[in-house]
Structure 1
């Protein structure tokens, strides 16, 4: 295959249910078939006893997102993902069918180039993101060059916007797109898509898929402008393999998305406790250094503020400063801290923040 992964089936001869793990940095779990409690229990066993063992030991795998079909699987989600403590999101799916060739008009000073060996052997500012994309989820550069393709708009020195195939199957491809933050809202995404569409037509593909997170309105708008039709929105579940990191991310979600402040405190406390017991050498990606730990203390202070525990909140905030909190100016302006600003300790907190970090 072109993408590294594992496939589980309900029966070797006549399977009616499949569970697939696409092994990559942002790996996908794909479950399709006939829902039942017994199958849900078996899938949970596979995830917790087999896939977590691989994921936590891997330098490549960070997290997973579970996609299911049909939607009836949602009735068994508590069983399937037991003890993974996931976060629920939505993915939006788009299709472009039987497209016509398109004209690619570029502003002066910009070039559209195929992402091939010659391109990857060169050097543009920002092109490390393209190299990573080619190598993940594709098994190798050779696999990408053989079956995949992509284009990049660039200047003489900088990658501007790029679109590459994530997957290729029969007459269909799935693509992704990214634009350098310095060049957004200038139409480059639509231009590079036109190049990819033309290449797809030349290779005989008549269906192009595009997907994005449910809250990524900019990506959805770009897809619409490029002629893609939104087909559905899927409920998906995401968790990180490292328990420490997953606790931290659940803390952020509870603090900012769900406004479940007590639960946020519990998640931040759990992550911090594990970090302090296990040390920075653990498998964590987010709490590997003191900066990440400082963030955890600061945002726990925000959650404590929201449940009225001022003493603990200030203790957590002062600890964050002690650990070297970065981007302090942004953090002191968070709305979750407004309830602390009339307390005398707020002035003490501001006084010890590095003035250079408050600019």
Structure 2
């Protein structure tokens, strides 16, 4: 297998965007050098690609019947499994779903996710403004240290470091009497996209905080010519409902594969 240097990442673009329903945001994050990653290709002609983050999230696309490359993929999985490392594989198509299931058998479990498209014509109106005990703030290093959900370990996993997130990413949080109670952050970003990751503390749900927080995130995207993206599991009804309320629609279903426990 060949590993592309970051100056050659553009060689993978034609393959990953060819006839695929959706491409994960982290792929563009790597290609745009927002985060460190690795791109494996089968040859200089690039018919099959595997793009992965440092934390072990991968996307495979291109020619499915590339047996040598598929053997390499399985070997990579075995090496990561032996070290107790993460291996999450995003599939480019239903054809790849079939290949992955045949290749990994019971080693990986298939799951379904939706990728939503944002419609900027759908204006969202805040149902209620924040009352005086609440405030909203852009996420910074100090707020990250006081977060229980999106803490330093989170940003290290997905961004490599807190400092890299502060430089290239963004997010917003709502505080109640100085305590972080709701967060909406970019799990991955690129020149074109920023993907939402959102969480509200259990004691503060049902107050409309997630909607207000997400709207601040969306507004930041639109003001900076970035398209917000929303992905979630197909059974996550709460996330689907919130996405639709905020103006996300036309969900496209795709598959991910994770290690069986």
TM range (shorter): 0.7 to 0.9
Q: CA deviation at 1:46?
A: 2.6
Which runs of no fewer than 5 residues in structure 1 stay unpaired?
Answer: 241-245, 247-359
Q: 2:173 aligns with which of 152, 159, 170?
A: 152
CA offsets, 1:164-221, max 9 Å, x none?
A: 111112221111111111111221111100111111122221x111111121111111
Q: How does 1:133-148 map to 2 (within 5 A)?
A: 133-148=154-169
Q: 1:3 aligns with which of 28, 32, 35?
A: 35
Q: Is 2:80 aligned against 1:28?
A: no
Compare relative contact order (CA 8 Å, sep 6+) and give the higher one, 1 or 2: 2
Which residue of structure 1 aligns with residue 111 of structure 2?
Answer: 89
Which residue of structure 2 aligns with residue 170 of structure 1?
Answer: 191
Which residue of structure 2 aligns with residue 120 of structure 1?
Answer: 144
Please identify which structure carries the higher helix content. 1
Alignment partners' CA distance in 1, 2:194 and 2:122: 16
Q: 1:161 aligns with which of 182, 189, 194?
A: 182
CA offsets, 1:77-110, max 9 Å, x none?
A: 234325x622221111112144688666213311
**RMSD, aligned α-carbons:** 2.3
Q: Is 2:253 aligned against 1:233?
A: yes
Which residue of structure 1 aligns with residue 26 of structure 2?
Answer: none
Task: State how many pairs are aligned.
Answer: 225
Alignment partners' CA distance in 1, 2:123 and 2:219: 5
Change (3 A) 1:209 1:173: same
Q: 1:75 aligns with which of 70, 80, 98?
A: 98
Change (3 A) 1:130 1:46: closer
CA offsets, 1:113-150, max 9 Å, x none?
A: 110134335x4xxx132223333200111211111000
Which residue of structure 2 aligns with residue 335 of structure 1?
Answer: none
SS at match of 2:247: coil
Alignment partners' CA distance in 2, 1:158 and 1:66: 36
TM-score (normalizing by structure 1): 0.57
SS at match of 2:46: coil
Please identify which structure carries the higher strand content. 2
Which runs of no fewer than 5 residues in structure 2 stay unpaired?
Answer: 1-32
CA contact (8 A) 1:28 1:65 kept: yes
Change (3 A) 1:195 1:41: same
CA contact (8 A) 1:2 1:139 kept: no
Q: 1:201 aligns with which of 222, 243, 253?
A: 222
Find the structure with the greater CA-based Rg: 1
CA contact (8 A) 2:123 2:247 kept: no
Q: CA deviation at 1:37?
A: 5.2
CA contact (8 A) 1:114 1:150 kept: yes
Q: CA deviation at 1:45?
A: 2.3
Alignment partners' CA distance in 2, 1:214 and 1:100: 22
